[in-house]
Amino acid sequence: MSERPDVLIVGAGFAGMYAIHRFRSQGLSVLALEAGSDVGGTWYWNRYPGARCDVPSLEYSYGFSEDLQREWDWPEVFSAQPDILRYANHVADRFDLRRDIRFNTRVTAVTYQEAANLWRLETEAGETLEARYCVMATGCLSVPNTPDIPGADDFEGCVLHTGLWPAEPVDLTGKRVAIIGTGSSGVQAIPELAREAAHLTVFQRTPVYTVPANRKAMRAAVQEEFRANYRQIREMQQNNAGGVSGFRPVKSTSRTERAADRTLNLPSAVPMAPEQGGMGILDLTEEQRRTLVRERGLGVLLAFRDAYTDPEANEAANTAFRDGIRDRVRDPETAEALCPTTYGLGCKRQVLDRDYYDTFNRDNVTLVDVRRSPIEAITRTGLRTGDAEYDFDVLVYATGFDAMTGALLRANITGRNGIRLADKWAHGPIMYLGLALSDCPNLFTVTGPGSPSVLCNMLVAIEQHVNWIGDCIDYMRRHGHERIEAQPDAEAEWVQHVNAVAEGTMYTTPSCNSWYLGANIPGKPRIFMPYVGGYPRYRERCEQVAAAGYEGFRFG
């Protein structure tokens, strides 16, 4: 590790890990600073029972190394957290990444030193490090959100957050457990907690649209077929709106299996390209829709692409979804409380589950609708809502994240002339391509706001950004440039474009309150943060920018 590396990388999740490898391979010295005690980012922190990826593992994996693809076996089609973390560790060992990572090191300030043209990073331990380039690989969902509920510190039991779950197993046997939150994390954790705890109380504010996840174990023949076609698969990813190839094994699956895959549960939670659509939901009567859901499950509703573009079709799908929940959950009052009514399918990231609705048919599970009777306070022994008191031993927050901007703001970035990111972003994130900021020369972000990021297969988005940054640094060195900086007009024009493409989509309907819009954090500006124009269109724009000598940037 050199004294002053060429590049300081903040974070050693999947983005930081690839950045170390990529930058090293082009002859740069690097040092990554990571708050956790090991690699893996999201998959290091989110160890809650049931944590699992919502993109198939053969797609949610690095594509930069043929050897890595050849040697790694996934045990399931959609991997559980421990397997993804094992993969991250394997990658760290295989490419000897740890020698350039400083663990247990949280960055508290990132400040541009104009005269020296260096970035100075300060750590929680009081250390200072400097480098010419700084790459923020801090993740999109890495700052857990814990709501400010009165009395939260009074609770005498055990408090956990899904996004900060302890590494050592938590024994919930015989315990009364409560969970707040029914987003992706809550939906995954609830069935597992219910199986383990003596009693589980679920505090739900907004019901979710969730569909059963694919539970297939990985068959060796399927893995082999992917291996044989990886080159083509990676290319297909580059041309798919969500960065998912959708490749289906042909040789190693039966015709029935392939047909089921086409009509049932979608492969992943990232949006499919509209061209993959088929029949419209309005072509069916209400009764036919209900029968279809009874026969094939709720996942079938996601196959109607018009439900994501046409408000009438969307309402038809929402109605069929609610009917499906009523058919599934025995207690009518609980079923009604589980029915989403305030927003439609497609407004939030699709949630995938294992036994979610069936869990509410268990005797040891109670659903509390806190929209009807809001949480008033956390007490010494539990929680109080408007009309009842609940006692429990363990409180689990599944209350999400300060998404996309949270980690960048927490790093206290200060650019040229003392301009603070917190001030610049007071009304929402402004940056160029989700990659760079004006007044912050030589600082790059991986999957920042304004890039496809969370609307894309994250591994594809990460590799594209890291490669672009690596190529840019290479270009600068070849051309003798010491500084690159996004131009304010390019930044403004891009933000305008990001907003324009999001307008009129299901994501931004007035009834939609998602973390994509920052709506989950009180006081956060309501702006649609990821780029919804599709990964290929975005990638091409990045390529054009580079090919035109880094259009929208200024060198110095």
Contacting positions for ligand NAP (CB under 6 A): 52-54, 141, 147, 180-186, 188, 205-206, 349, 352, 370, 375, 398-401, 454, 515, 520
> Which lies closer to ligand NAP via its Cβ, residue 81 or residue 414?
81
Q: How far is the CB of 45 from ligand NAP (least distance, A)?
A: 11
Q: What would the two tokens of residue 294 be? A: 């009874």
What are the respective helix, strand and coil percentages of the chain, to the nearest 5?
Answer: 40, 15, 45
- Give the C-alpha separation, 297 to 431, whole Å: 42
205/216 with CB nearer ligand NAP = 205
Instruction: State the nearest-atom distance from the C-beta of 165 to ligand NAP, in Å.
Output: 11
Contact between residue 507 and residue 529 where contact means Cβ atoms under 8 Å apart: no
Nearer to ligand NAP, 140 or 320 (CB): 140
The nearest distance, CB 182 to ligand NAP, in angstroms, is 4
**Contacts of residue 191, Cβ cutoff 8 Å, sequence gap at least 6:** 50, 353, 354, 355, 356, 358, 359
Least gap, CB of 200 to ligand NAP (angstroms): 15
- Smallest gap, in angstroms, from Cβ of residue 539 to ligand NAP? 21
Helix (H, G, I), strand (E, B) or coil at 21: helix
Q: Which residue is nearest to ligand NAP (CB)?
A: 183
Q: How far apart are the first and last CA of the chain?
A: 28
With respect to ligand NAP, which residue has the nearer C-beta, 349 or 524?
349
Q: How far is 87 from 97, CA to CA, in rounded Å?
A: 13
Neighbours of 77 (CB within 10 A): 18
CA distance 454 to 178: 29
Given the complex with ligand NAP, which of 425 and 516 has the nearer CB atom? 516
Q: How far is the CB of 329 from ligand NAP (least distance, A)?
A: 18
Which residues, in sequence order, are CB contacts of 170 under 8 Å at separation 6+?
158, 160, 394
Cβ 167 vs Cβ 47: under 8 Å: yes
**Between 454 and 466, CB nearer to ligand NAP:** 454
**Measured from the CB of residue 251, what is the shortest distance to ligand NAP in angstroms?**
29
Smaller CB distance to ligand NAP: residue 97 or 189?
A: 189
Given the complex with ligand NAP, which of 29 and 385 has the nearer CB atom?
Answer: 385
Q: How far is the CB of 367 from ligand NAP (least distance, A)?
A: 12
Q: CA 89, CA 442: separation in Å to the nearest integer?
A: 29
Query: Does an H or E element contain 33, and which?
Result: strand 30-33
**Residue 114: both structure tokens together:** 């104009």
Say how far apart CA 423 and CA 444 lie, in whole Å: 18
Residue 127 and residue 392: Cα distance in Å, rounded? 42
